[in-house]
Amino acid sequence: MDFQEAAAIVTADQNQNDWGDEPPMTQAEAIEHVRNIMTLEDVVDYGDENTEAYRLVLSTSQLPE
């Protein structure tokens, strides 16, 4: 999995949450939000692609293009 794919997975996952009247987050907004609310150690290992995506996003400072 590359960073762009991980960013898309994390963004989709974050946008499944109920954010009220707020519009869906962009990839950059979702990545920044995740980095503000959790650390790499906080990722629960479910053995799925979401786990891998969150780990990849949190282990780098890269932002989506």
Q: Each residue of 2-24: pLDDT tens digit?
A: 999 999 999 999 999 888 889 99
Listed residue (16, 65, 57) closest to 37, CA to CA: 57
- Does residue 65 have a pLDDT over 80? no
| Residue 40, Ramachandran bin (φ over 0: left; ψ between -120 and 50: alpha; else beta) | alpha
Q: Which residue has the tokens 């891998």?
A: 52
pLDDT tens track for 22-50 = 999 999 999 999 999 999 999 999 999 99
Longest dimension (CA), the chain: 33
Residue 19 has a pLDDT of 81
Residue 20 has a pLDDT of 86
- Of 33 and 65, the one with more pLDDT: 33
